[in-house]
Amino acid sequence: MAIHNLEVNGAYLLDLPVVSDPRGDLTFIENQQHIPFDIARVYYLYNVPVDAQRGGHAHRDLQQVIFALSGSFRVLLDDGQHKTEVTLRNPGIGLYINRMVWREMDFFSQGAVCMVIASNPYDESDYYRNYEEFIEASHASKK
Ligand code: T46
């Protein structure tokens, strides 16, 4: 499995296996094999208006891998020191996002489907939804 590191708190792009034949392509994900944590939750975003912005938060502990199962969208990442942006458009490529990374998502194409594999069940207390609060916590943890 190929890995492409990004400079934002351990974020990286991962290439999943693709099995192709004349009937089409098949990609699979196995716990621990392709995802660097035990899978606790899967959710997906769909029917997203093309001008919508999602995300706008960071997580205290949660790790996630994000896929564009259909269509495309942009993901902005910011760990308080480094920023990068990635456009996901290939269902065989996942974006791993570590804890303590602010993410924003936009430029959703018509019919885009975003699937997310997460390390923990949903927990609102795990979110930083205020950017200044996140930056303060991020800088404090690096002192
Ligand atoms: C992330 C991006 C990619 C739940 O009840 N269960 C869930 O598992 C999730 C993810 C959300 N919710 C509720 C919480 C809110 O009332 O659904 C509502 C919308 O959630 P949120 O505004 O956080 O959705 P997004 O698309 O902005 O962000 C989500 C994830 O929260 C986030 O971790 O990285 O998708």
Question: CA angle at residue 16 from 118 to 104, to 5 degrees?
Answer: 45
pLDDT for res 27? 97
For 54-92, give the secondary structure using H, E and C.
EEEEEECCCCEEEEEEECCEEEEEECCCCEEEEEECCCC
Helix locations, the chain, DSSP H: 131-142
What pLDDT sits at residue 2? 66
**Cα 3–Cα 66–Cα 124 angle in degrees, nearest 5:** 130
Site to substitute for ligand 1 among 54, 75, 95, most atoms within 8 A of C-beta: 54
| Token pair for 141 | 């943890």
Give the distance (Å) from ligand 1 centre to CA of residue 127: 10
Beta-bridged to residue 41, according to DSSP, are: 118
Q: Which atom of ligand 1 is nearest to the CA of 122?
A: 8
- The pTM assigned to this predicted structure is 0.95
Look at residue 143 and tell me whether its pLDDT is greater than 90: no
Q: What is the predicted pLDDT for the residue at 1?
A: 65
pLDDT digits (tens, 9 = 90+) for 62-109: 999 999 999 999 999 999 999 999 999 999 999 999 999 999 999 999
Determine contact, residues 3/14, Cβ cutoff 8 Å.
yes
Q: Ligand 1 atom closest to Cα of 103?
A: 34
Summarised one tens digit per residue, pLDDT across range 8-67 is 899 999 999 999 999 999 999 998 789 999 999 999 999 999 999 999 999 999 999 999
